Every structure is written in C-alpha cells, then in structure tokens.
Structure 1
Amino acid sequence: MPLHPEIARFLTGLPTPPGGPLDPVAMRAADEAHVAPLDERLPLHAVQDTTAKTPAGDVPVRIYTPAEADGFGVLVYFHGGAFFLGSMETHDHVARSLAKETGLKVVSVGYRLAPEAAFPAGLDDCHAVVRWVAEQGESLAWDGTTLAVAGDSSGGAFAAAVAARAHDEGFDRITHQILYYPSLDLDFDADRYASLRENAEGYGLETAGLKPFNAFYLDSGADPADPLVSPLKRADLTGLPPALVVTAQYDPLRDEGEFYGLRLAEAGVEAKVSRYEGAGHGFVQHFSWLPEYRRVFAETRDFLTRGK
C-alpha cells in the first residue's frame, strides 16, 4: 500500500535539513521542544523518576505504574535516537502507552548517549538496569513473572544486545524481547538489504543519513562487527528470549529486522515478525496516534500475554 497520507503530509512539511556537521546539542534541544506538556499526557496511576544504583553507575529511570495492584510484570524500555538522541522525555508517551495497554510496570532507561559517553556506556546502563529490576523486584512490586526488554530503532539494538548478553552471562530472567523497527546491522552497505535501496529516499529516515547519524556511536568505539553493536552478527541465536520484531514497509531498516526474526526462528526461538504497511521508520514514536498504528501496543500486549 502507499505511504499513509498523514505520514506523507508530515514529511512534505518538514524543513530542509541544514548543511554541515550534525550538532547533537541543538538536535536534542529541538526534540525536547516537541514534548507534550505534562497535563496533556496519558494519565496513569503513578509515574516516578528515580535512580537505579548499579555497577555501571547511577542510571536515571522513570517508572510507570498503570494501575493499583499488589504485583506486576515489568517491561524495561530503551528509547531510540541513533544512540545520540532521544530521552525519557521524548519517548514518555511511548512508555505511557506501553504501560496502559500491557498492564505491566514500565521502567524507561535514561542511558548515557554518544558522543559524550563512549561505547559501551549506553549498553552497560541498559543491561545494568535490567539486572537492577530483578534484584530490586520486591521494592518495584515485580511479581517475578514477565521481565521483558523493549526498544525502538537504536533502542531495539540495545534490547537485542541486552537479551544476548544476559543469556551469555547465565541470567535467564528475561522473558521477552520486543524490537520496534530495530537497527540491528550497523554495516550500512546499501547492497546488504533490498530495503536500503527501495526505501532510500523520501520516507523520513534515508539510507544516506544512516552513516552520519550513527557516526557518533561508531566513532566512540562501537565496532559494527561486534554482535553487541550489530546483533545480526551473532553467530548462535539459540536460547534467546521469544521476540516480537515490528517493522515498517517504508523503512530502510525493514529487511534487517525481518531477517533477524527469520534467523531467530531458524535457531528455534519463538519469533513473530509483524510488518506495518504504509508506515515508515519511527512510526511508534511519531504516528501511534493513528488507529492503524495504535494497534502496535495491543499487539505487544497480546505477544506478552500469549498462553496465559
């Protein structure tokens, strides 16, 4: 199907990007300027900012409690932003929707960003918070059942890497990984995946922009050949948690996400790949107010609760 008309209208109205090197500080400020006021956000039973004290250091987290209850499953959420953009604020609405729809307590992670924090600082923060949730389960009212990791775009890369790293360390408490249009292969050779050519221009995220946007992360020491940077490089995917991989029809990263889902299934891991037609990269963050894409949260809920 064609690009959704609301997305097409939005892209038409975008200003021409300024020339010259990317300015992380200015780009972050621009993102924060679009955050909705608190009184316009989806209400929940409780939203609390706190600090997770971990071996990686003190990590800011925001805890979303959907309702009053004695115990909850927990979903740990890593925001996207090419490893140098995004925050708990810019993705607050995503975390709220996840909590509301799934009924899980959501822990959003304010991990360190490139280029100020070199690899693997951000990944270490995400990994440490998942371990912290398990260790602090009683104080978080974790019921000891669901412990999912989820992320969009670069946050999806972190979710996949955290699941793999935990498996390698013998930490078996992660029950699900949920990857929204994940960035799983930071080798941006356009011949690697058809979607890098088919969706190269005109859909928001452009193939030519992948290298400069991810350069802050790669220049900080992240090696695209490292499976903790590019989870698709991992040779053995057996034993990883069940995965929901959400992709978008008009996303340059579409095929690497779908290939990861296929490789997981071939390794005996339960994996569901769900392509959203008419959508481009970033639709969960920017267009989940549209009914066609709002269902991504219900699909996430159904994946997390299947068999229960």
Structure 2
Amino acid sequence: MKQELIPVYEEVEEQIKKISNNKEKKSEPICISGKPIYLPLSGHKIEVTYYEAKKKNAPIIFGVYGGEFTTDNYSYDDLFWNMIHSEFECNVVSISYKNFRKSKFPCAINDVYDVICYFMKNASQLDFDTDKVIIFGSSIGANFATSAALLDRANNTNYIKTQILNYPCLDLTTSINKNICGDFITPDKYVNDVAELKNPFVSPVYASKEELKGMPKTIMICGEEDNFRYEGEKYAKMLQNSGTEVYCQNYSEMEHGFVELYFLLKYMPLKSQTLSNKMKENFISGKLYKSVMSAIQFIKEHCI
C-alpha cells in the first residue's frame, strides 16, 4: 500500500527529505512552523514551542513530549505537534521540561504545571478558550501530563479540562523491567529516593480514589504489543471508578510509541534502524498509517 502523507506535510515534504537524508548531520532538528518562546517563570526560563491557531478563541493543547529519559531535545516532535495543531485547529504549546540528568523529581512536573499556569494567568493577552484547556502527553510525557493534572487538582486550580494519554508509562516501579533501559536513565535515577517510585506524582497508578476525584476527562491510546498497555488500562479503570469520564482505545499489532514511530519511519528513516521488524512491516503494509490516523480521529472525536 502506498504510504500516504499526513496532509499538513505536503508542502514541506522536500524540506523534510533533505534534512532526513543528511547523513553528516543526523541529529539536526526539524522545526517547521512552531515559534520558540522563553517564558520567565519564578526566576528561571522554560522554552516552549508555540503553534498559534488560525481561528479566534480556539482550544489550547499543552504538549508533553515522550522519548528517552536522557533526551532534552524535543525539536523532532515538532512534526507531531504541527500535525496536531493543523488537524485539531487549535493552539499548541510544546513544553521543554527539564532533563532528568540535570534535575530530578518533581522538576519536570513543576515545569509542565508552571507553563500552564503562566498561560492561564496571561490569558487576557493571549487568544485561546480557557474552558478548553487540554494536556497531551506520550509515553513518559503522558506520565508527566497526568501528574500535572493531579497537581492541578491538588492545588484547586482546575485549569485542565481534558487529558490525552498516548501509551502512558504510569508505574515506574516496574518500568526498569520493561526494556526501556539501555541508553536510558533508569527510573530510580529520576527520583531522589527509591521510595518515591510509589509517589502518585511519579507512578500515578498509586494514586488513591480520593486523589483521582475530579480528574479531567481522559482519552487514552494503547498498543496491543506494548508492555505499558496493562498499567494504562489499570489507570483508566481507576479513573472510571473515581467518576472520571474515560475513553480508551487499544490498537492491534501496535508497539509502544507507534504514532511517533510513523513519523520516524516516514520522515527520518536514518534514525529508524533500531525499530522492530514488525513495526517496519506494519509501516510498509500501511497498517501503521491506518492505526495512526484512526488514533487521531478517535482523539478528535472525544476531545473537543
């Protein structure tokens, strides 16, 4: 099956090909249309990439990238966030949280929450719908996203109305056994003490029913072949039992990170050599593309 383009990229296909085929600069970042902004927050600066919606009073999505525990270069996710910005016709704020090597728990979560607070407190100067505030995270980014939502509720700010969690990592007490180590920093290096691995803001599956009360509407995407699927499904049931509106979809033959993997295979093939043969086969057959587009439509259907 022919590999279709995500519509938003038709006009930049040549630019992407040029960068992805640059063998001497494999790590050169791709930034298509997002605007880098440095926010002055409590004596320090946080970088975000802002994608402004064309229409007035549009929803706003705060994006929390996933990926390696060692990574603080999120610019490759511009491909993903630019697509979300276009497909959802909304504002997107991609947040550059602190790298785990430099800052331990709870710095990354505080960064995410502080950025949301900054935008909400300056809403009169910005143009977005304050009643349609969404947080969207993938993998470990989904962990930070739902932890920021927990913090939002604990502080009674209640800014976040919807959370979108793509294949979330929600139990870091077991993550060390799920093949995410290797070049990654293991979860015990993220926390200040191993006892913190059971802190609900580190491993949200340890949150109590009381702590989960009032959590925002949740949309969850899981992959059938993803080891993290079970903790995602467990958390979805926990949220439902606490009274939260939850929509969860599981995709057959899909592995962890399958949405981002499509972009990697399509636009940056030089960086896709470590992917499983199964995902490469799903890409060639078109099954990966269909799953990605189905996931996007599922999120859109329940999100806005």
TM-score (norm 2): 0.76
Residue 19 of structure 1: aligned partner: none
Q: Percent identity?
A: 22
**1:125/1:36 Cα in 2 relative to 1: closer, same or farther (>3 Å)?**
closer
The amino acid across from 1:251 in the alignment is D
Distance 2:221 2:198 in 1: 23
Residue 55 of structure 1 corresponds to which residue in structure 2?
42
Q: For the residues of structure 2 that align with 1:227 and 1:210, how far apart are their CA atoms?
A: 26
- Tell me what 1:203 maps to: none
**Structure 2 unmatched ranges of 5 or more:** 4-22, 267-288
Given that 1:81 and 1:154 are in contact with CA atoms closer than 8 Å, whether structure 2 keeps it comes out as: yes
What is the CA-CA distance between 1:297 and the residue it aligns to?
2.1
User: What do you get for the CA RMSD once the two structures are aligned?
Assistant: 2.7
**In structure 1, distance between residues paired with 2:74 and 2:181:** 27
Q: Provide, for residues 205-258 of structure 1, a one-character-per-residue CA deviation record: whole Å limited to 9, x for no partner.
A: x36759854343136878211110011111121110010111111111110001
More helix per residue: 2
| 2:19 match | none
Q: In structure 2, which of residues 26, 44, 50 is the aligned counterpart of residue 33 of structure 1? A: 26
- The count of corresponding residues between Structure 1 and Structure 2 is 256
CA distance in 2, matches of 1:54, 1:222: 29
For residue 51 of structure 1, report the CA deviation from its aligned partner.
Answer: 1.3
- Indicate yes or no: 2:139 matched with 1:140: no
- Check if 1:298 corresponds to 2:291: no
Of residues 216, 237, 247, the one that matches 1:241 is 216
Contact 1:79 1:91 in 2 (8 A): yes
Q: Which amino acid aligns with 2:107?
A: A
**Structure 2 counterpart of 1:230, which letter?**
S
Greater CA drift, 55-64 or 166-175: 55-64
> 2:26, 2:151 → 1: CA distance?
35
Alignment of 1:275 with 2:250, yes or no, is yes
Of 236, 242, 246, the match for 1:261 = 236
Structure 1: gaps of 5 or more residues: 1-5, 7-29, 191-195, 201-205
Distance in 1 separating the partners of 2:240 and 2:43:
32
Alpha-carbon spacing, 1:56–1:213, altered in 2? closer, same or farther (3 Å): farther
1:234 is matched by which residue type in structure 2?
A
Q: Report the 3-state secondary structure (helix = DSSP H, G, I; strand = E; otherwise coil) of the residue aligned with 2:216.
A: coil
Equivalent residue for 1:103? 89
- Distance in 1 between residues matched to 2:175 and 2:82, nearest whole Å: 36
After superposing the two structures, state which structure 1 stretch, 133-142 or 120-129, moved more: 133-142
Cα drift, residue 139 of structure 1? 2.8
Match of 1:175 among 149, 161, 164: 161
Q: Structure 1 residues 181 and 258 mapped into 2: Cα distance closer, same or farther (>3 Å)? A: same
User: Are 1:120 and 1:222, in contact at CA under 8 Å, matched by a contact in 2?
Assistant: no
Query: What SS is found at the alignment partner of 1:70?
Result: coil
CA distance in structure 2 between the partners assigned to 1:90 and 1:277 by the alignment = 26
